[in-house]
């Protein structure tokens, strides 16, 4: 690895750290701007002003916001995510199983969506202009045009209400066999796959077509290289950077999409936990869940940038 590549990677990591600091600032102050008084919400309608004021002091809500942010950030960096206001439990304990469930849903979606999307994107680029390419393009337009909540609602109506093949709600803890897992994860995974696949297919197709139009690929064809060798040996390695960015950006879409899916299917993940925490104004829980989503997005985009740097022969 030469100095130029190392400098680019280190600069990208530095930018990611600065971005995470800015995001943490935005998350903390955005959650504190939520309407309503936390102490009054936690005590209920029968709360007296004295009791609400005492609870605010106990939770340090009477301190300046900047001071509370510094304490929160330092605790977060040490791995101390605080205590839930609503449950009086450590946030880590509340998130543990939910985090595993969300990662399981995202992992299954990625294992299904990425290979299918890359295959469709590459083959439609190689066969551009054909009937197959036009069919894939029309399907892409249709998938992108339908919002995710509509896909989830239609899936529930069709598979759960009319056909009664699948449960309308997805309880991950009830999966005791492979058949149970198929029933529980089918509709959430299909809904997320629709949103993720469309972007990967579109961007992969564009990246491969741009590479196939280069002079060195044409030279490989003139020298007698087969179409398969031309794609695998010459086109794909040089399109790896844009494809990695497409996959990372599309998988980061899961961060937003999983909130809708977990809410509609009542899936016990982090996104559903965060939505429930908003209703009770549980600030430590909301902040931790938001930071986990932001950190996941940054990790994906940073990893894609590093892959793009390492796969670029001009930089090497």
The model's pLDDT over 83-126, given as tens digits with 9 standing for 90+, comes to 887 777 888 888 888 888 888 888 888 888 889 888 888 888 88
Categorize the per-residue pLDDT at 174 as very low, low, confident or very high, splitting at 50, 70 and 90: low
Taking each helix axis from N to C end, the angle separating 91-126 and 131-145, rounded to the nearest 10 degrees, works out to 150
Q: DSSP letters along 236-295, please?
A: HHHHHHHHHHHHHHHHHHHHHHHHHHHHHTT--SHHHHHHHHHHHT-HHHHHHHHHHHHH
Q: What is the pLDDT of residue 74?
A: 86
Q: For the whole prediction, is pTM greater than 0.85?
A: no
Using DSSP's 3-state secondary structure scheme, residue 86 falls into coil
Q: What is the pLDDT of residue 249?
A: 78
- Percent of the chain surpassing pLDDT 70: 84
Q: What is the pLDDT of residue 46?
A: 63
Number of H helices, E strands in the chain: 13, 0
pLDDT at position 69 over 80: yes
- If you average pLDDT over residues 24-36, what whole number do you get? 78
Distance in angstroms (rounded) separating the CA atoms of residues 217 and 93: 54
Q: What is the pLDDT of residue 184?
A: 78
Q: How many residues does the chain have?
A: 316
Distance in angstroms (rounded) separating the CA atoms of residues 70 and 253: 30
Question: In 3D, which of 147, 140, 190 has the Cα closest to residue 165?
Answer: 190
Task: Look over the chain and give the mean of its residue pLDDT values, rounded to a whole number.
Answer: 80
Categorize the per-residue pLDDT at 35 as very low, low, confident or very high, splitting at 50, 70 and 90: low
| Least reliable range by pLDDT among 21-35, 161-175, 263-277 | 161-175
- Percent of the chain surpassing pLDDT 90: 0
> Are the C-beta atoms of 121 and 208 separated by less than 8 Å?
yes
- If you average pLDDT over residues 30-54, what whole number do you get? 68
Q: What is the pLDDT of residue 315?
A: 65
Q: What is the pLDDT of residue 253?
A: 72
Q: What is the pLDDT of residue 314?
A: 67
DSSP state of 34: S
Q: What share of the chain is helix, strand, coil (3-state, %, to 5)?
A: 80, 0, 20
Q: What is the pLDDT of residue 40?
A: 65
Query: What Rg do the C-alpha atoms of the chain give, in angstroms?
Result: 24
Residue matched to tokens 């598979």: 159
**Superfamily of the domain at 95-310:** MetI-like (1.10.3720.10)
pLDDT at position 44 over 80: no
Categorize the per-residue pLDDT at 42 as very low, low, confident or very high, splitting at 50, 70 and 90: low
DSSP state of 172: G
Q: What is the pLDDT of residue 141?
A: 82
**Domain residue spans of the chain:** 95-310
């Amino acid at each position: 690895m030469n100095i130029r590549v190392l400098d680019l990677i280190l600069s990208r990591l530095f930018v990611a750290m600065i971005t995470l600091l800015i995001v943490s600032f935005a998350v903390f102050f955005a959650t504190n701007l939520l309407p309503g008084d936390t102490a009054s919400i936690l005590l209920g309608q029968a709360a007296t002003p004295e009791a609400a004021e005492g609870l605010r002091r106990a939770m340090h809500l009477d301190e300046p916001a900047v001071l509370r942010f510094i304490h929160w950030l330092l605790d977060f960096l040490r791995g101390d995510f605080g205590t839930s206001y609503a449950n009086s439990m450590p946030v880590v304990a509340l998130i543990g199983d939910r985090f595993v469930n969300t990662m399981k849903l995202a992992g299954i979606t990625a294992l299904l969506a990425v290979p299918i999307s890359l295959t469709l994107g590459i083959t439609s680029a190689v066969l551009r202009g054909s009937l197959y390419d036009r069919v894939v393009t029309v399907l892409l337009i249709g998938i992108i045009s339908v919002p995710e909540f509509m896909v989830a609602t239609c899936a529930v109506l069709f598979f759960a209400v009319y056909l009664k093949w699948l449960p309308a709600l997805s309880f991950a803890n009830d999966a005791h066999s492979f058949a149970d897992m198929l029933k529980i994860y089918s509709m959430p995974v299909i809904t997320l796959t629709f949103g993720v696949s469309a972007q990967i297919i579109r961007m992969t197709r564009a990246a491969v077509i741009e590479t196939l139009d280069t002079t060195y690929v044409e030279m490989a064809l003139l020298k007698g290289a087969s179409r398969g060798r031309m794609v695998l040996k010459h086109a794909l390695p040089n399109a790896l950077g844009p494809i990695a960015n497409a996959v990372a950006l599309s998988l980061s879409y899961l961060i937003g999409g999983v909130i809708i899916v977990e809410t509609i299917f009542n899936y016990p993940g982090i996104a559903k936990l965060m939505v429930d925490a908003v209703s009770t104004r549980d600030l430590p829980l909301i902040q931790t869940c938001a930071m986990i989503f932001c950190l996941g997005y940054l990790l994906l985009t940073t990893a894609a940038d590093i892959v793009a740097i390492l796969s670029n022969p001009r930089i090497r």
